[in-house]
Amino acid sequence: MVQVILVDDHKVFLQGVEALLSRIIDFNVIGAFTNGLEMMRFLAEGNIPDVLLLDIEMQPIGGVELAENVLRQYPEVNVIMLSTYFNEDFVQELMNSGIKGYLLKSTGFPEIKAAITKVAHGGFAFSPEVMEVILKGFSNKTETKVQEKNEFGQLTAREVELIRLIGEELTMKEIAAQLFLSEHTVKTHRKNIMAKMDVKNTAGLIKKAFILGFIE
Amino acid sequence: MVQVILVDDHKVFLQGVEALLSRIIDFNVIGAFTNGLEMMRFLAEGNIPDVLLLDIEMQPIGGVELAENVLRQYPEVNVIMLSTYFNEDFVQELMNSGIKGYLLKSTGFPEIKAAITKVAHGGFAFSPEVMEVILKGFSNKTETKVQEKNEFGQLTAREVELIRLIGEELTMKEIAAQLFLSEHTVKTHRKNIMAKMDVKNTAGLIKKAFILGFIE
DNA sequence: AAAGCAGTACCACAAATGTGGTATTTATTA
DNA sequence: TAATAAATACCACATTTGTGGTACTGCTTT
């Protein structure tokens, strides 16, 4: 019997998947949450699942952040990330943090079912699109040891804050005023953000921020 | 017996909702598609539903475009839009095009069920957040007859094309080169886009384009 | 035939973003 | 404690974006 917990802020999605999973005799959905904090509380009460299905695009706490927290405290949990989009930079980072799967929401239910079974038994499960990138990443890493910079270093809290404000259509000047910072500082932050995200301009920044769930 | 068709490119979502709806004796899901064109083909074959549930954020054809097409050809179909986000400009426009409901995906299944029943019997169904804006819009309209400009005039095909390219991180110069246009023209387009979308800068443009499903 | 829209193109100036640096302070962690 | 990361701040210059206009053409629609 595989104990499963679901987290997704799309309530209909959550209920739909729950309904589908509940029909399967091997699975037991012990929790379904639209909110990461509630899920954390549930875990703290001793309800530890075999498999945790986490949506990436959530507010205010994104799935990635949640996954990292959960795995720090309960490394035995098998985490599968669910996402609408597919972001390359992410995969690398998530792999290191110990997740067992990354599925796109365009995936059908049978695949999700198979994925849960797989990871519950120590396996991995990635959508084909994701798998491709992982393999590509591998060969990149082994062949070219030089390029070590573009690792998408984790964004800091401050940087994420900036991203949100940029998303609110504020200019650097306005952000500086709002945060009581020098305009220079704010510009430096944005520069660093763009480097970390590997984007060329504001358009790219906002687009990626959206995909990563920093703005909504 | 209410005949229902679902369209959503999140396959799991689609299958989940389908599973939930199928359990209800009053509903008959006659079609579920991840693709708007397939759905149109299905309608053309004479499969006309009472209620059509349409996701807004789809590629390459967005739900809004689909809704307009469907309603032009089959005005008797009751269309409910589903969306992750909630966009004010949209609601006004959609209301005019004849849709019967607009629900957020954060809505629970019971509400969706109720909404389907309502619209199938000639009613309307909007999420509370949406309803609020509709009412606000009403009072705005009746009180201030002056301001008639900010109606979010429909974006043209060319404009949408530009939006996509801006989303690809291209500058105006690069876009001009790619489309064999003068840089002036491209700038004019962007200016018009920003006015129509009612945004202040690139950040706002991309954000709204994302919400409206123009870029992915 | 006149009006309106979509697409094209131009101008000039103001404001903001983007590039490529350096540097200090304060925590945190190896 | 030495090294690192995060947050702060500065400079100069190049490029792009944003504002506020005008105007011509071709195609629909009234």
B71-113 pLDDT, tens digit per residue, is 878 888 889 988 887 766 666 666 666 788 888 888 888 888 8
Assess whether pLDDT exceeds 60 at residue B164.
yes
Which residue from A111, A95, A78, A105 is spatially nearest to A2, judged by alpha carbons?
A: A78
Task: Give yes or no for a cis peptide into B49 (omega within 30° of 0).
Answer: no
Assess whether pLDDT exceeds 70 at residue B152.
no
Q: What is the reported pLDDT for B147?
A: 27
CB atoms < 10 A from the CB of B186, how many? 23
Protein-to-nucleotide distance from the CA of B191 to the C1' of D24, whole angstroms:
19
- Which of the residue ranges A27-36, A86-95, B162-171, B192-201 would you say has the lowest mean pLDDT? A86-95
Asked if A113 reaches chain B (Cβ–Cβ under 8 Å), the answer is no
What positions of strand C are covered by protein, i.e. any atom < 7 Å from a CB?
A: 5-12, 15-23
Q: What is the C-alpha to C-alpha distance for residues B103 and B86, in angstroms, rounded to an integer?
A: 9
Task: Give yes or no for a cis peptide into B128 (omega within 30° of 0).
Answer: no
Q: Nucleic chain C: which protein residues 154-183 of B have CB below 7 A from it?
A: 154, 156-159, 179, 181-183
Which residue has better confidence, B118 or B201? B201
| Chain B residues in contact with A16 (beta carbon < 8 A) | 12-13, 15-17, 19-20, 109
| Chain A residues in contact with B108 (beta carbon < 8 A) | 11-12, 15
* Six-digit token string for A50: 């075999």
User: Is the distance from CB of B78 to CB of B102 less than 8 angstroms?
Assistant: no
Q: What is the reported pLDDT for A8?
A: 92
| Strands, E assignment, A8-98 | 27-33, 51-55, 78-83
Most distant pair of Cα atoms in chain A: their distance: 60
Protein-to-nucleotide distance from the CA of A170 to the C1' of C22, whole angstroms:
27
A10, A19, A107 ranked by CB distance to B11: nearest = A107
User: Is the distance from CB of A129 to CB of A107 less than 8 angstroms?
Assistant: no
List the pLDDT tens digit at each of the 216 positions of chain A.
Answer: 899 999 998 888 899 889 888 888 889 999 999 988 899 889 989 999 999 999 888 876 777 778 877 887 888 888 998 888 776 666 666 666 678 888 888 888 888 888 898 888 877 888 777 776 666 554 444 333 222 223 455 788 888 889 989 999 999 999 999 998 999 999 999 999 998 888 999 999 999 888 877 887
Q: What is the reported pLDDT for A216?
A: 77
Q: What is the C-alpha to C-alpha distance for residues B9 and B58, in angstroms, rounded to an integer?
A: 6
Containing H/E element for B54? strand B51-55
Provide the β-strand partners of residue A125.
A101
* Six-digit token string for A68: 């990292």
What phi-psi label fits residue B198: left (phi over 0), alpha (psi between -120 and 50 degrees) or beta?
left
**CA–CA min distance A17, chain B (Å):** 5
Q: DSSP assignment, residue B153?
A: P
Q: What is the reported pLDDT for A147?
A: 27
